[in-house]
Amino acid sequence: MTQTQLRQPLTMTATGGELRIANVRKSYGNSRGVESVSIDVRPGEFLTMLGPSGSGKTTTLNLVAGFLDPDEGSITLDGKELSGVPPHLRGIGMVFQQYALFPHMTIEENVDYPLRVRKIHRAERKSLVAAALELVQLTDYAKRKPSELSGGQQQRVALARAFVFKPRLLLMDEPLGALDKKLREAMQIEITRICRELGATVVYVTHDQEEALAMSDRIAIYNAGRIEQLGTAEDLYKRPETLFVADFVGESTVIKGSYAKGALVHHGRSLSTQGAHGSVAEGSAAAVVIRPEDLTVVPATQTAAIPEALNTLEATVTKCVYLGQSRKCLLTTATGLVINARIPLHAPPELFNPGDSATVTWDPANSVLVPSD
Amino acid sequence: MTRNIPLGLKIFGGVVGMLLIMPTLVVIPMSFSASPLLKFPPEGFSLHWYGVFFTDPLWSSAALRSIQIAALTTVLSLLLGTGTALAMIRGRFRGKSPIQVLILSPIIMPIVVLAVGLYFVYSDWKILGSVGGLVLAHTVIAYPLVYISLSTALKALDSKLEDASASLGASKAYTFRRITLPLITPGLLTGALFAFTMSWDELILSIFLTGPTVKTLPVVMWDQVQTELSPTLAVAATIVMLVTIVLIMCALLIGTRRKALKP
Ligand SMILES: Nc1ncnc2c1ncn2[C@@H]1O[C@H](COP(=O)(O)OP(=O)(O)O)[C@@H](O)[C@H]1O
Ligand SMILES: [Mg+2]
């Protein structure tokens, strides 16, 4: 495949490419990289890969970028098979975690680099670089060296350099990982804005849940070299399909047991799953997942008012943290189960001191049923 | 960095340094001697022996020969050293540590042993006393220095920069020219200076491997010390020393500039 076939004319505004990763597997000698990963990324979509460290996110990106070759499976961009195409002919922009700016070049020269490589006419290069630097608000820094910029500024240069040649696909590997929290939040907004303006398809990697929720159209949850679930933030939060996703996204309470006749049996206690989302096989190991905001905590003395249809568990408050709008509380049951709940500020004061007895209740229709191991 | 060193130790270090360097420095006044005899302290002052050095073909051609051999050694060492360093740092293959030991062995090996070995090989190949043979021999001991200086530079170079360059559309060759090479140039220059210096004042291999027609400056000095002790010898020593000092200073300067450039 020639360079011109894969490159899109630079006069056009970038339109997002369609990336298809199908059944891709990659191992490093004896150690697993990714096993059978499949994702379809829609044109113009902002898709995030979220998962713990070592789960195969970087490996997937490197396979797409062409720094690694898959052992099996296929990766196509706009219908063209990418395997066998060297990285420099793929026309995919990439932003690295440690910026990877060229230290011997000025900011301007860094951003100009992909354009020079493509032998674009000088005048056009100049205006493209100027436009890119303006988009990341670094026009005044054009003549400086990367070492003279702060981390956030360097990352914006890396971003400008990655999109200035209008790639159809932009890959970002934990681009904000090296920044402090405040800057990270500002950059999340910045990156989302720039990507929307560009219209490019973006595959973004992070291990920060909030970042993924804040930025993405869809999120792929990675675990141990596989994708556990792919969906919108709401899908993952409200309708997790596996125990891992339920546990990883949000701060849910997970109650394990075995499933029988529309209820979960947890240490001899039958908890209704009537109307719960998800289904598991009769008699199998299962877990009920409940979001903190779906749990109600009442003092042990006021259990009489609880409707019949709700599930209840007796627990002891172990810790409460004041959060402004509510208190975040941890409770423990006699069986050792840890419950994560929010208690409103106006709740009776005997509820949020360690050692207080309470009853936790929830509507089974608000819980999620997932298979357990 | 010198902040934490006590004054007494500084003085002690200075004295030891002076004592070590003194014998080297005596050749400078001796080279300006007005008497035909080489002795210390020198008698009178004249530039006569500098004139002899630059006009007597024995000396001047040896000096030119030394420059030629050092230059060729530098070029050959750079090619070999760069190639080896790139293969060792960027390549993916097994058994790197034994190969590394092999590459560095000429530095550890007694040079006189190498000289004897090469002497027999060269006489068999009939290249004793040739410029090529001498360049080859000097390269054996000079290129590990280039290798060390380059592999250090390559190790310090973030390979992500090369990945980034590829993702921006640059071929391997383009990336090498625009990214890798500029970033390892200080290492390359340092290596070149060390290689040149190594060949420039090399005596042992040269004694064994030079012939009557091809002689380097150190070999002529060695000959002269045993036959005729004229102050021209001091002139030669001064010149050898000056060139070496200038080259080492350049290498140090590159080293400090490189450090200053790091963020
Ligand atoms: N170069 C490598 N050699 C051997 N194993 C590797 C290499 N790179 C990654 N791995 C392994 O592959 C798995 C996935 O790694 P990676 O894709 O970097 O995860 P993530 O980016 O999600 O943290 C990990 O178990 C890691 O140890
Ligand atoms: Mg990673």
Instruction: Print pLDDT tens along chain B (263 aa).
Output: 456 778 888 899 889 888 888 878 888 888 888 888 777 787 888 888 899 999 999 999 999 999 999 999 999 999 999 999 989 988 888 888 899 898 899 888 899 999 999 999 999 999 998 999 999 999 999 999 999 999 999 998 888 999 999 999 999 999 999 999 999 998 899 999 999 999 999 999 999 998 888 899 999 999 988 888 888 889 999 999 999 889 888 888 887 776 655 54
B260/A contact by beta carbon, under 8 A: no
**Ligand 1 atom 2, closest CA:** A28
- State the burial class of residue B95 (Cβ atoms within 10 Å of its Cβ: 0-12, 13-18, 19+): exposed
In chain A, which residue's Cα lies nearest the Cα of B174?
A117
Least Cα distance to A295 among A324, A333, A335 occurs for A333
Block residue for tokens 């963020």? B263
- State the burial class of residue A262 (Cβ atoms within 10 Å of its Cβ: 0-12, 13-18, 19+): middle
Question: Residue A77 pLDDT more than 50?
Answer: yes
Amino acid occupying residue A4: T
In a 13 Å sphere around the CA of B172, the CA atoms on its Cβ side amount to 3
**Ligand 1 atom 26, closest CA:** A54
Cα–Cα separations (whole angstroms), residue A21 to A15, A59, A72, A173, A261: 19, 13, 11, 17, 40
Question: Which architecture does CATH list for A3-238?
Answer: 3-Layer(aba) Sandwich (3.40)
Q: Closest to B160 (Cβ–Cβ): which among A98, A114, A118?
A: A98
Contact B183/A162, CB-based, under 8 Å? no
Beta bridge partners of A47: A203, A218
B168/A contact by beta carbon, under 8 A: yes
Contact B263/A147, CB-based, under 8 Å? yes
Least Cα distance to A175 among A194, A198, A147 occurs for A194
Q: Please tell me the distance from the alpha carbon of residue B112 to that of residue B253, in angstroms, as a whole number.
A: 32
Chain A residues within 8 A of B180 when measuring between CB atoms? none
Contact B163/A92, CB-based, under 8 Å? no
CATH code for the structural domain at A251-371:
2.40.50.140
Ligand 1 in contact with A28 (CB < 6 A)? yes
pLDDT 10s digits, A283-299: 889 999 999 889 988 88
B242/A contact by beta carbon, under 8 A: no
Residue B48 main-chain phi, psi, to 5 deg: -55, -45
Block residue for tokens 């640059």? B170
Q: How far apart are the first and last CA of chain B?
A: 18
What interface predicted TM-score (ipTM) does this complex get? 0.80
Least Cα distance to A57 among A85, A72, A37 occurs for A37
Task: Spell out the SS3 assignment of chain A.
Answer: CCHHHHCCCCCCCCCCCCEEEEEEEEEECCEEEEEEEEEEECCCCEEEEECCCCCCHHHHHHHHHCCCCCCEEEEEECCEECCCCCHHHCCEEEECCCCCCCCCCCHHHHHHHHHHHCCCCHHHHHHHHHHHHHHCCCHHHCCCCHHHCCHHHHHHHHHHHHHCCCCCEEEEECCCCCCCHHHHHHHHHHHHHHHHHHCCEEEEEECCHHHHHHHCCEEEEEECCEEEEEECHHHHHHCCCCHHHHHHCCCCEEEEEEEECCEEEECCEEEECCCCECCCCCCCEEEEEECHHHCEEEEHHHHHHCCCCCEEEEEEEEEEEECCCEEEEEEEECCCCEEEEEEECCCCHHHCCCCCEEEEEECHHHCEEEECC
Q: Please tell me the distance from the alpha carbon of residue B245 to that of residue A160, in angstroms, as a whole number.
A: 47
Least Cα distance to B263 among A146, A154, A106 occurs for A146
Neighbours of A74 (CB within 10 A): 14
Please tell me the CATH superfamily of domain B47-261, with its number: MetI-like (1.10.3720.10)
pLDDT 10s digits, A183-239: 888 889 988 988 888 888 999 999 888 899 989 999 999 999 999 999 999 999 888
Can you tell me which atom of ligand 1 is nearest the CA of A52?
22
The per-residue pLDDT for A9 is: 38
Q: Please tell me the distance from the alpha carbon of residue B229 to that of residue B218, in angstroms, as a whole number.
A: 15
Least Cα distance to B165 among B151, B192, B183, B148 occurs for B183
- Find residues 245-274 of chain A whose CB sits inside 8 Å of chain B: none
Block residue for tokens 């490189």? B258
DSSP annotation of B1 reads -
Q: Please tell me the distance from the alpha carbon of residue B68 to that of residue A314, in angstroms, as a whole number.
A: 92
Domain boundaries, chain A: 3-238, 251-371
Domain boundaries, chain B: 47-261
Question: Residue A6 pLDDT more than 50?
Answer: no
Return the residue in B90, B160, B168 with the most chain A beta carbons within 10 A, the one to mutate for interface testing. Answer: B168
B183/A contact by beta carbon, under 8 A: yes
Chain A residues within 8 A of B168 when measuring between CB atoms? 88, 93, 113-114, 117, 161-162, 165
Q: Give the predicted TM-score (pTM) of the model.
A: 0.79
Q: Please tell me the distance from the alpha carbon of residue B51 to that of residue B37, in angstroms, as a whole number.
A: 16
Chain B residues within 8 A of A103 when measuring between CB atoms? 183, 261, 263
Amino acid occupying residue A70: P
Q: Please tell me the distance from the alpha carbon of residue A267 to that of residue A335, in angstroms, as a whole number.
A: 7
A100/B contact by beta carbon, under 8 A: yes
Can you tell me which atom of ligand 1 is nearest the CA of A174?
21
